Amino acid sequence: MHAPAFPAPVVSLHADPACADHDCTRVEFDADLIGRLGKSGPRYTSYPTADRFGEDFGYRDYLLAVAGLRTRGGARPLSLYLHIPFCDTVCYYCACNKIVTRKREKAATYLSYLKREISMQAGLFAGMNEVEQLHLGGGTPTYLSDAQMDELMAHLRRSFRFAPDETGEYSIEVDPRTVSAERVHTLRRQGFNRISLGVQDFDPEVQRAVNRVQPEAETRAVIAAARAAGFRSVSIDLIYGLPMQTLDTMRATLDKVVAADPDRIAVYHYAHMPRLFKPQRRILEADMPASDTKLRMLQLCIERLGAAGYVYIGMDHFAKPRDELAVAQRQGRLHRNFQGYSTHADTDLVACGVSAIGAVGATYSQNVKTLEEYYELLDRNELPVARGLSLDMDDALRRALIQKLMCQFEVSIPALELAFPIVFRDYFAPELAQLRQMQADGLVRLGPEWLTVTGKGRLLIRNICMVFDRYLAARQDRPRHSHTV
């Protein structure tokens, strides 16, 4: 049965008075504290996290969720995510759901089924289908040819109403090795206004160690083309902790990234889990940097990007002060979902493609992970939902709290009590006991009206959110998450 939607806490732009005599807006790096408290934990792109999804939630539960939106009226705008799983080559660090193949006909077949799923979703949302956000991820979305991308974008616009270019956020992930300057201009004409480039590292030796040789000039050419084509935002993804990386190579990469002047930078910690991700077995353990070196790399990233004028958004994201992410955070509008941080908090997320995860109403749903299952279900005129979850009141409460911590680094306790039928100090008594130890460590401030994450606590925000995750104890025998820092 479809769970009802629950209200989110009232958004407040009030700042914690305790920050008046202490800078709570600045991230602080404390190596000893991070070394002592760092551990495996979720990234909280959702709560409950995806490993809580169950196969008892299926296609019909998803239909009930959409029907619930229609019954309640006042539908919210939509965010669309499309998963394009194909890549030409394998990057050894990659943990994404991907299909490495040079057989281009596979993409043509996939596109025909993806369009069928899009049509089915559009039918469900008829009359409440204005899209404010679109994201193409993978894999490598630009594995599709220009003609195939034209076909896909035209089908999307026939199926959904899109907000104007100046207000909508339409982004695509790009491997700079797969696109020319001309292709970048074509992507802009096709309707994309944000572009994200996978770089990872500019050092040739590191690139060879992860099977992703990508000359700096190639990446700079794509950025220049994006600027010339009128993209509103250019993002760069980096990874620290890769094989053959040193502080010197990281410093050189950061200098080149700052010189390229992107609007947003994501610096991810490489999670080496070869037992779970087969391509990672090609990385030699002897080539991996030591734990203390990785911590110093993180410190270097924070200091170098901060000196260059970038704002620490949270987790692994940095942005220029005038970027919409930074503005949304200052205004209390920042949101976090399966694509990371977002400026569109009031949307239902409709996801299409293999393994894609959506969030509609008070539910999550994930599609099947193989092409065979995906095609089979669509041939039966069923959406390819494999598993999911309907949130109860406790889930919705903790999701709202964790969202505020991840995005704003503070929670208004009265606002939370107004939105949910709880008394904070009673409902979260066990959690508050844990938070008092974190307060002693200087990670948080606990007051009668505010829970505030300090500058020291920002880098350990996942640890703080884990305090409120009631499912963690039941996950001890499940595969490990990545390290929190």
101 Cβ partners below 8 Å, 6+ apart?
Answer: 86, 87
Q: Does the residue 374 lie in any domain?
A: no
Contact 134, 80 (CB under 8 A): yes
Of 188-202, 268-282, 403-417, give the lowest mean pLDDT range. 268-282
Whether residue 28 is predicted with pLDDT greater than 90 in this model: the reply is: no
* Predicted confidence (pLDDT) at residue 344 exceeds the cutoff of 50: yes
Mean pLDDT of the chain: 90
Q: Are residues 206 and 315 in the same domain?
A: yes
Those residues whose C-beta lies under 8 Å from the C-beta of residue 182, and which sit 6 or more positions away, are: 225
What domain range is 308 assigned to? 51-352
Assess whether 316 and 446 both reside in one domain: no
Whether the pLDDT of residue 8 is over 50: the answer is no
Mean pLDDT value across residues 93-105: 89
Same domain for 281 and 209, yes or no, is yes
Is 242:206 a contact under the CB 8 Å cutoff? yes
Pairing relation of β-strands 161-162 and 169-174?
Answer: unpaired
Phi/psi of residue 336, each to 5°?
-130, 130
Q: Which of 97, 180, 186, 94 lies closest to 148, judged by CA?
A: 186
Please tell me whether 271 is known to bind a ligand: yes
Residue 87 assigned as binding residue: yes
Q: Which residue has the higher pLDDT, 4 or 265?
A: 265
- Whether 1 has a pLDDT exceeding 60, the answer reads no
pLDDT digits (tens, 9 = 90+) for 61-85: 999 999 999 888 767 899 999 999 9
Task: Please check the confidence at residue 201 and state whether its pLDDT lies above 70.
Answer: yes
For tokens 């999804």, the residue is: 53
- 191 and 107 housed in the same domain: yes
Check if the beta carbon of residue 464 is closer than 8 Å to that of residue 485: no
207 and 270 within one domain: yes
**Residue at token pair 């700052």:** 258
441 to 30, 42, 430, 434, 467: CA distances (angstroms): 11, 21, 18, 11, 15
| 34 has binding-site annotation | no
Q: What is the SS3 assignment for 451?
A: strand
Q: What is the pLDDT of residue 5?
A: 39
Distance of CA 293 to the CA centre of its chain: 26
Contact call for residues 445 and 434 (beta carbons, < 8 A): no
pLDDT of residue 156: 98
Residues 41 and 78 in one domain: no
pLDDT of residue 165: 96
Is residue 19 pLDDT above 70, yes or no? no
In three-state secondary structure terms, 95 is coil
With respect to residue 362, please indicate whether it lies within any of the assigned structural domains: no
Find the helix or strand (DSSP H, E) in which 365 lies. strand 363-367
Share of the chain above pLDDT 90, in %: 77
Tokens of 362: 């008070």
Burial of 363: CB neighbours in 10 Å, binned 0-12, 13-18, 19+: buried
Q: Residue 60: CB partners within 8 Å, gap ≥ 6?
A: none
- Measuring CA to CA, which residue among 461, 474, 360 is closest to residue 409? 461
Does some domain include residue 402? yes
Quick: pLDDT tens for 136-168. 999 999 999 999 999 999 999 999 999 999 999
- Asked whether residue 12 carries a pLDDT value surpassing 50, the answer given is no
* pLDDT value for 276: 85
475 has a pLDDT exceeding 70: no
Q: What angle do CA 258, 262, 265 make, to 5 degrees?
A: 85
For residue 43, which of 470, 411, 340 has the smallest C-alpha distance?
340
237 known member of a binding site: yes
Predicted pLDDT of residue 480: 54
| 81 annotated as a binding-site residue | yes
Number of domains in the chain: 2
At position 403, the amino acid (one-letter code) is Q
56 and 44 within one domain: no
* 471 annotated ligand binder: no
Whether 368 is in a domain gets the answer no
Q: Which pLDDT does position 14 carry in this prediction?
A: 37
Task: Flag whether 407 is marked binding.
Answer: no
Are 7 and 68 contained in the same domain? no
Query: Mean pLDDT over residues 38-45, rounded?
Result: 83
CA 178 to chain CA centroid, nearest Å? 23
- Model confidence pLDDT, tens digit, residues 425-471: 999 999 999 999 999 999 999 999 999 999 999 999 999 999 999 99
Backbone angles phi, psi at 349, to 5 degrees: -95, 115
Share of the chain above pLDDT 70, in %: 92
Any binding-site annotation on 139? yes
* pLDDT of the residue at 30: 86
> What are residue 284's phi and psi, to 5 degrees?
-80, 130
Residue the block writes with tokens 């393994």: 355
Q: Which single residue is written with the structure tokens 């948080």?
A: 444
**Considering 352, 370, 401, which residue would you say is the last residue of a domain?**
352
- Which of 451, 463, 381, 466 has its CA nearest to residue 416? 451
Token pair, residue 479, equals 């595969």
Say what the pLDDT of residue 316 is: 87
172 strand-pairing partners: 136, 195
Q: Tell me phi and psi for residue 243, to 5 degrees.
A: -60, 140
Question: Which of 352, 376, 405 delimits the end of a domain?
Answer: 352
Does residue 387 lie in a domain region? no
The predicted structure's pLDDT at residue 96 = 84
Task: Assess whether 74 and 164 both reside in one domain.
Answer: yes
Question: For residue range 243-295, what is the model confidence (pLDDT) as tens digits?
Answer: 999 999 999 999 999 999 999 999 999 988 888 888 999 999 999 999 889 99
Question: Tell me: the pLDDT tens digits for 371-406?
Answer: 999 999 999 999 999 999 999 999 999 999 999 999
pLDDT per residue over 305-343, tens digit each? 999 999 999 988 999 999 999 999 999 889 888 878 888
pLDDT score recorded for residue 97: 83
Q: Is 93 annotated as a binding residue?
A: yes
> Which residues make beta-bridge pairs with 357?
366
Give me the mean pLDDT over the 183-200 stretch. 97
For strands 340-342 and 78-84, give the pairing. unpaired
- Same-domain pairing of 324 and 222: yes
Instruction: Pick the last residue of a domain from 352, 382, 412.
Output: 352
377 located within any domain: no
